[in-house]
Structure 1
Amino acid sequence: MFEAAARHGNFTRAAEELGMTQAAVSYQMKLLEERLGAPLFMRSGRGIVLTEAGSRAAPHITRAFDAIDAAFGSVRADDAAVLTISTFNSVANSWLAWRLGGFQMEHPAMAVRLNTSDAVVSFASEEVDVAIRSGAGGWPDLVAHRLFPMDFTPMCSPDFLARHGPLTPHDLIDLPLIDRQKRRWTIWLEEAGVPAPAQAPRAGIRLDTEANEGHAAMAGQGVALLTPFLWHHDVAQGRLVRLFDQVSERGSWCWLVYPERRRTVPKIRQFRDWLVEEVARNALPKPVGVRAGG
């Protein structure tokens, strides 16, 4: 209040700048003078002028506020220059990392950092601007944009399919299944019309992420349940074959999330707009050359 009043030479204009009443500023200046034991202002016509004590103090106070502003300005500049994205392994390795260069080219002055972990990031304790999560949504205090469904369907390599011939859903029971979540295989087989077998489906290798499952399937190590959106480029390039039309889901989607309080930050708006457009541009075509799951 002292700095604003000294700069304006007027309690009313200082109050307007600070969003306060003139009476509140005047009262606080009176308390400040009592605490210092010296007058800081004298009334002059309709305004105020600094006393000798006030004139000595004002330049130091102004320089102090300039230093504070410069410190926060540096923080703001550093924050604007770097976008930190947190996402889980499957999205990072099979989709996002392949496309982030496009965003970087549109915003060459901004550095992009991609932190990959299946752990849910805390915006309160970690230096992360945005995150891509999977789930049902509904995270408190976060803005959430739904991107694409985390559904799943069987895929394998062309060589694997050539070795095992044309397949029906029933045939999968006797093939090595790349198995991260056995429950997902049960769901898909049931929805494809395959009754529960007398014995469990043949077990294949078990991996910790869908990204690893997809690469194991490309290597011909079995049939994996993969999310079509994340892998359709590999299908189009002939590295994977989608076996059936049948796609199952458990209500999980991929979301872009960030704190509500930061929704207007320019770099977050820019990444959000780019990502939503990129997802729309990569929307799945209708399956071609796959069989019905009945």
Structure 2
Amino acid sequence: MDSFRNNLPPLDALIFFQAAARCGSFSAAAREMRVTQAAVSKRVQRLEEWLGTCVFERKGRSITLTEGGQAFANDVHLALEFLERAVSRFKAEEEGLIRVASTSSMSVFWLQDRLKGFALSEAASPVNVTTSDDMNALTAPELDLTIVYSDGPAPGWSGVQVMAGELAPAAAPDVAAKAVEAGAFGDHWQPGSCPPLLEYANLTPDWINWSIWLRRLGLPALAEWPVMPCSSFGQSVGRAMSGRGILLANLDMLRSEFAAGHLIRIGSRTLSPRKSYYLCHRADKPLSSAARRLFDFLISAADQ
């Protein structure tokens, strides 16, 4: 397919021609476009050279469209209107689009429900979400907002804490009862009868899994417990709710699962991580009105 560059004259030549055709003179077109008459005349002449024919009949300072020029002017007007609508539509979508990134666990268990609420609100605007546990992806320059697990806003970003979250054992009701009966996480632990711990690999050095939690609380090492490996935190939550083992739960992140009775906390031992979740925006770039609405909405919904 031939390129538009080879088959079409320069865009500015078409724009100047359309203005001259609509205004009926080079002088009027020049005033409208805030350029000199010579600038209009020169671009129209270049268009005629490119076309290989005249589009205007010139009689002194007056100009009249040729028959072919009139038909061409009508088509050019329609084409420019179509192009203008396409640009306006794209700009409106881009200006209203909010680009958000979040860690995988926060995206699934915290952000999605709140984005649904935002979409149903009067403040709604299109949102594009990137889910990642890679800090580079979470702080990409094109983002408007990001949720990071850190001891403060990411460098170059401003933000507020939206979740701390103590970490504690939890399970489905029947599994939780068995764990309590076995003395799990207490002074009378019976390893043979304890349900398995749902363990997953650390995605980042800051993440706390069962191995770290047990060590920091001075409990028997993970090797002494029955363990069911999981591929992710999310999978460990799913398996816990289906009664397959004991989850290391973020009590704030899984608040709705606890409220619904899908999970029951086991014992009273907790660990408060040094890091927490922050909703951030770039410090050196003002938020768009749409991004500001979402930021404010998420802050107001942080404790819900």
- TM (norm. structure 1) is 0.62
**How many angstroms apart in 1 are the aligned matches of 2:86 and 2:256?**
46
1:248 aligns with 2:266: no
> Residue 228 of structure 2 corresponds to which residue in structure 1?
205
1:229-256 CA-partner distances (Å, limit 9, x unpaired): 320222344433164331336x674768
> Residue 146 of structure 2 corresponds to which residue in structure 1?
145
| Cα separation, partners in 2 of 1:31 and 1:227, compared to 1, 3 Å | same
Task: Indicate conservation of the 8 Å contact 2:201/2:231, yes or no.
Answer: no
Task: Indicate conservation of the 8 Å contact 2:176/2:264, yes or no.
Answer: no
What do you get for the CA RMSD once the two structures are aligned?
4.7
**How many angstroms apart in 2 are the aligned matches of 1:169 and 1:228?**
19
**How many angstroms apart in 2 are the aligned matches of 1:50 and 1:255?**
62
Task: Indicate conservation of the 8 Å contact 1:131/1:257, yes or no.
Answer: no
Within the candidate set 49, 52, 56, 1:40 is matched to 56
| SS state at 1:55 partner | helix
| Cα separation, partners in 2 of 1:77 and 1:142, compared to 1, 3 Å | closer
Written as runs of structure 1 = structure 2, the 5 A alignment for 1:107-256 is 129-136=128-135, 137-146=138-147, 148=162, 153-157=167-171, 158-165=173-180, 167-168=184-185, 174=191, 175=194, 176-181=196-201, 184-194=209-219, 197=221, 200-238=223-261, 239-241=263-265, 243-248=268-273, 253=277
**How many angstroms apart in 1 are the aligned matches of 2:41 and 2:119?**
52
| SS state at 1:205 partner | strand
| SS state at 2:236 partner | helix
Query: How big is the shift at 1:220?
Result: 3.7
Query: How big is the shift at 1:160?
Result: 3.2
Residue identity in the other structure for 1:12: A
Task: Indicate conservation of the 8 Å contact 1:2/1:29, yes or no.
Answer: yes
* Structure with greater Cα Rg: 2
Residue identity in the other structure for 2:200: R
Residue identity in the other structure for 2:214: L
> Residue 15 of structure 1 corresponds to which residue in structure 2?
33
Count of residues in Structure 1 that have an aligned counterpart in Structure 2: 254
Task: Indicate conservation of the 8 Å contact 1:135/1:253, yes or no.
Answer: no
Residue identity in the other structure for 2:253: L
1:173-199 CA-partner distances (Å, limit 9, x unpaired): 9442101126732322233244x74x7
**How many angstroms apart in 1 are the aligned matches of 2:33 and 2:200?**
63
1:58 aligns with 2:78: no
1:206-226 CA-partner distances (Å, limit 9, x unpaired): 223323312322344322223
> Residue 118 of structure 1 corresponds to which residue in structure 2?
none
- TM (norm. structure 2) is 0.60
| SS state at 1:230 partner | coil
Structure 2: gaps spanning 5 or more residues? 1-15, 148-160, 203-207
| Cα separation, partners in 2 of 1:25 and 1:103, compared to 1, 3 Å | same
**How many angstroms apart in 1 are the aligned matches of 2:234 and 2:118?**
22
> Residue 274 of structure 1 corresponds to which residue in structure 2?
297
Identity %: 22
1:121-178 CA-partner distances (Å, limit 9, x unpaired): xxxxxxx823354454432332333374686723223443432336547878944210
Task: Indicate conservation of the 8 Å contact 1:218/1:240, yes or no.
Answer: no
Task: Indicate conservation of the 8 Å contact 1:152/1:227, yes or no.
Answer: yes
**How many angstroms apart in 2 are the aligned matches of 1:254 and 1:3?**
53
